[in-house]
Every structure is written in C-alpha cells, then in structure tokens.
Structure 1
Amino acid sequence: MNYTELKLTLSPDYADILTAELAELGFESFVETDEGLNAYIVEPDFDEAAVQEVIDRYAPQTAIVYEVTSLEKRNWNAEWEQSYQPIEVGQAVRVRASFHEPNPAFQFDLVINPKMSFGTGHHETTAMMLEHQLGIDHAGKSVLDVGSGTGILAILAAHMGATPVVAFDIEEWAVENAQENAALNDCAAIRVFQGTIADVDTTDRYDLVLANINRNVLLAEIPTYAALMNPGGYLLVSGFYEHDAADIDAKAQEVGLSPVGRKTQNGWCSLVFANPA
C-alpha cells in the first residue's frame, strides 16, 4: 500500500502539538526535521481538508507551510532498520533497536524501538538529557519523566538504580511504546500512564524530574515541577534552542531553583537545576 508524506515547515515549539493532532487523523509515524516535521499515513486514509483544518487552527500562533507527496510502496520496516543505527552517549550508554546485537563494552545497554514516539537518543536534546543523567546519582532516587515518549530517560533512570520511576505522556501510542520498551529493558517497575502534569498526585515528591519537551510547555510547567521536587532534588530539561535558555533559566530561578548544569549541541540546549536542600 502506498503512503502519503506530509512535510511541515514550522517552529519546533509546535512539532509535538502537530504530531498529536495528526495522530488523531490517522498518521502513523513522524520524523522531526531541521525544518519542522514529516508525517506519514496510508494513502487511502489521507484527508487533506482535515489537515488544512488543523493547520488553520494553529496558523494564528505560528507560520506553517506544508507539502504533500505520494510515496511508492516500499518495505518500511526494512528501511527503518537500515536507517536506525545504534548511538553511543559518552562511554557508558549505547542505544540500539531490538534487531541490533548488544555490546558488552557499555555499562548501560538501552533497547529502544521508537514506533511513532520521539526519543531514540538520536536527537540532540535526548542525547544531552542522557548525558546529564549519567552525572547524577540515581540510586534509590524517585524519578518523574514528563512527556516520556519512548521512555528512554525513565529506562536509563531505572538502570541507574532509581526507584520508583513514574513516566507519563499525553499520547496513548507513546504510553504503549514506553511500556513495551520498559519490558524490553527488564524495567517492569517503571509505571507509565497517559495524562499530563495535572494528573500527577500533588502529594508525591521526586528527587529527579526529567522534562524533554519544548520551550512553551516548560515555561508553563516549571513551577509545577519545582513543587513536586524533594529538597536537594534535580530538574533536567531540554527540547529548546540555545537562544531560549535565558527564559528557561529565569523561570526556574523565579521558583527557587539554582542552575547547576548546561549542555549545548547544534543550537539545542539542555539545563540542570537543583532544588536547595
């Protein structure tokens, strides 16, 4: 069966939102690009009027341009397997798909089959979050993974000894994918649920909060993250460009968090904040 490719040129702050909207229209897979987002759907299910309606809804907030291409029938699984190569984060973490052989030279062997979810470690923001995690003691620490996608951050946390580990995502398919990946990594103790930060029990407290989302969500939710943190805990954030770091930093300091770490890669940024003991 042929597929339709929808190429969207838009602000990266809206990539997650458009992914969620297009998933509701039946789009099956998504790839974030330097220009925005590519989305794929089987040709008979493509409804351009419905796509236009979604774009019109967000047009007042951000500029969006799209292009539609019909793709010939091909072996998508084979192409995905060919294009998905294992990645290494520092000297300790190797991220691979289930069809790759493990490499015992790495302390942490993470098996991630992404499906439609964002977060294989290939994107700069995910890799930087993993690097930050490696520098923080997780043993016996409670972890909250916000907008967990594939569950990769929660899985590394569990491998590093964190417990309990709670993860959530707004999308049902992302939750299912995170649960599948947790099982692949023998991390049955990770609890994944569908929802938003508003669904987290306000009486719970965490030693680490991980949030690889986007600038707008972070600015809105950092006060909530801070309220959920234990004294001496850490907030790790990414998903935004380097030029947005000042706004993220200001919001975190506004609620009493102190900046203690920063990484940048290809214009993307990741920050770490500490909650005073």
Structure 2
Amino acid sequence: MSNTIYIGYYFKVQPLQPVVEILIAELGYAGFESFIETEEGVTAYIQKEEWYENILEDVQVLSSDEFEISFTFEEIEQTNWNAEWEKNFNPIVVDDICVVRAPFHESFNTQYDIIIEPKMSFGTGHHETTHMMIQHILKNDFENKSVLDMGCGTGVLAILAELKGAKPIEAVDYDNWCYLNSLENVERNNCKHITVIEGDASVLGKNKYDIIIANINRNILMQDMGTYISCLNKNGMLFLSGFYTDDIPMIQSECEKYLLKFEEKLERNNWVSLKFLN
C-alpha cells in the first residue's frame, strides 16, 4: 500500500471570482495537483513529498491588496478522503452525453455512465483538464483503437475510451494510490480491455498506440514528449492537457519538432487541451 501523504490547504477568498480561478491557476504552477471549489473559496491538495515550506512564495495573488485571502493547511490521512469526496463530489455531466458520478449518486439517463470512487486520485471530470479530455474522447472515433491513458489518475478517461469501443487500453500512473484506485474503478465499470500499470514513461518501452491521452502537467509533458510520440502509430492521435493558455506555444513547438500536426484546441477557464495528429 502506498505511503503517500497529502497536504490540504483551505483557502477563504473574497471576492470569489475571479480570484478562485486565478488562485487555482497559480497553485497549479506551484505543484498542487487537485482542487475542490467551496462556498468560501478553494481547497487544494499536494503530495507531501512535493511540498516545501515556501511553496506559496510565487503565488502572487496572495500578496495582492485587491483581494482578501486567508488559509490553513494540514496533513490529510488517506482514510479521510472518501468522506471528503462524499461531502464535495457532485455528479458532472459533459455535453449531455457522459456523466461521471460516485457510487452513492443516482444513475443518469446519458449515453455514457461512469462510476468513480475518486479517493485521493486526480481526475473526476470536475477539473477543467479532465472535463476537456472527456470532450475530446466523446468527439473522436475510438472504435477498435489501441489507447494509452498516461497519468490516468482515477482511470476515468481509459474507462470512457473503452465505452467508446477502444481496445486494448493501457492506463499508466506513477502514483501507487492512483494505480490502486484505477484498478478499482476499472473493475467497478466492468471494463474488460484496460490494463492498469504503475510507473512513468519508462514503462512504455516499444509499445505502439493509435491514440495517446496525456493529462499530466507541462513539465512532464515536455520531458516525455519524445517517448509519447515514439509510441504513437502513423496517423495516430495525441491529446494533451494539464497546462494553461500561456503554455501553448511551448507545447505546440515541441510537438511540431516531431512533425505532429496541430488539429484542435479546447479551452476552459484558462486551462487548455490540444489535439495533434501524427
């Protein structure tokens, strides 16, 4: 079992908008990996091993005289995570086609119904990047395509890919908690074609895929782009997210270095998801 410990920051914000949006963006750059918007502001989580004492030093919105922002923080025990999500995790419907919900929610009359027990894993559809990746999957042909879900989190994107007809599918995450959570969610949704792997890009080897989904962060994407593209079949599709509008030139330049063709951009609250063709 993973010994991963998370630090939770509880921010109270006045006024809520646009401050919450700015705060989440800056916290994302600082290394925080998941967020829950609350009635008072936002709760943000970061792995303890990624945390350091001055982690908020570059979060400029905190030093602004225009807003009132206060916060507390604490270590989060994994055993508390389910209760935390039950309090805050509402079903999300994407384009009236796909619902992502927890087991304690009633079912929805949508084409795709995905049940996720998120625990401490990232990727429920609430965050802009996961939401946009779901939109990409809904809009594109996955029938009988081999798929890699890199940085799979809860496994929600791999699960939707199977529901769209993809096979075989590999879902990879370096975090043991995400690995275990994805295994549970794959079984919960009766998926038969998904293999969940614990590791990073080094586990890919010479595997080849028709479609690669990578919802991670800018630095990891830049670091591992060559590996992803070496694993992408000719005429394959690459979907990237986990970064901001300002990062597009850097990401696009790296992809074009490998002769990928930019195809489509989705944008949501300053977060971006891009589609490229091989």
TM above 0.5: yes
Alpha-carbon distance in structure 2 between the residues aligned to 1:179 and 1:187: 10
Indicate how the Cα distance of structure 1 residues 168 and 5 shifts in structure 2: closer, same or farther if over 3 A, else same.
closer
Matched, 1:257 2:260: yes
Q: Number of residue pairs matched?
A: 244
Superposition deviation, residue 68 in structure 1 = 4.3
Q: State the superposition RMSD in angstroms.
A: 3.1
For 1:153-201, what per-residue CA distance to the aligned partner results, in whole angstroms no more than 9, with x for missing partners?
A: 1000011110000011111110000010111111132101110011112
**Structure 1: unaligned runs, 5 residues or longer:** 20-29, 41-50
**Structure 2: unaligned runs, 5 residues or longer:** 1-5, 12-22, 63-69
- 1:87 paired residue among 92, 115, 129: 92
Matched, 1:195 2:199: yes
User: Is the 2:143–2:164 contact (alpha carbons within 8 Å) kept by the matching residues of 1?
Assistant: yes
1:149-164 alignment runs, 5 A limit: 149-164=153-168
Indicate how the Cα distance of structure 1 residues 145 and 201 shifts in structure 2: closer, same or farther if over 3 A, else same.
same
Alpha-carbon distance in structure 1 between the residues aligned to 2:129 and 2:167: 24
Superposition deviation, residue 13 in structure 1 = 3.5
What residue number does 1:239 align with? 242
Alpha-carbon distance in structure 2 between the residues aligned to 1:225 and 1:31: 27
Indicate how the Cα distance of structure 1 residues 97 and 168 shifts in structure 2: closer, same or farther if over 3 A, else same.
same
For 1:222-267, what per-residue CA distance to the aligned partner results, in whole angstroms no more than 9, with x for missing partners?
A: 1211110011110000010111111111111111110111000111
Indicate how the Cα distance of structure 1 residues 192 and 119 shifts in structure 2: closer, same or farther if over 3 A, else same.
same
Matched, 1:269 2:269: no
What residue number does 1:167 align with? 171
User: Secondary structure at 2:240's aligned position in 1?
Assistant: strand
Superposition deviation, residue 36 in structure 1 = 8.4
Alpha-carbon distance in structure 2 between the residues aligned to 1:170 and 1:86: 27
User: Is the 1:120–1:126 contact (alpha carbons within 8 Å) kept by the matching residues of 2?
Assistant: yes
The code of the aligned residue for 1:94 comes to V
For 1:90-120, what per-residue CA distance to the aligned partner results, in whole angstroms no more than 9, with x for missing partners?
A: 12111110111112x3111011111000000
Matched, 1:205 2:208: yes
User: Is the 2:132–2:273 contact (alpha carbons within 8 Å) kept by the matching residues of 1?
Assistant: yes
What residue number does 2:132 align with? 128
- 1:38 paired residue among 40, 45, 61: 45
User: Secondary structure at 2:52's aligned position in 1?
Assistant: helix
Matched, 1:107 2:123: no
**% identical equivalent positions:** 39
Alpha-carbon distance in structure 1 between the residues aligned to 2:268 and 2:90: 20
Alpha-carbon distance in structure 2 between the residues aligned to 1:239 and 1:4: 20
Superposition deviation, residue 82 in structure 1 = 3.5
User: Is the 2:263–2:276 contact (alpha carbons within 8 Å) kept by the matching residues of 1?
Assistant: yes
- 1:98 paired residue among 93, 98, 103: 103
Alpha-carbon distance in structure 1 between the residues aligned to 2:49 and 2:151: 26
Indicate how the Cα distance of structure 1 residues 55 and 258 shifts in structure 2: closer, same or farther if over 3 A, else same.
same
User: Secondary structure at 2:234's aligned position in 1?
Assistant: strand
Alpha-carbon distance in structure 2 between the residues aligned to 1:176 and 1:217: 21
Alpha-carbon distance in structure 2 between the residues aligned to 1:121 and 1:177: 15
TM-score for both structures, normalised by structure 2: 0.78
Alpha-carbon distance in structure 1 between the residues aligned to 2:153 and 2:29: 16
Alpha-carbon distance in structure 2 between the residues aligned to 1:183 and 1:129: 21
Indicate how the Cα distance of structure 1 residues 229 and 39 shifts in structure 2: closer, same or farther if over 3 A, else same.
closer
TM-score for both structures, normalised by structure 1: 0.78
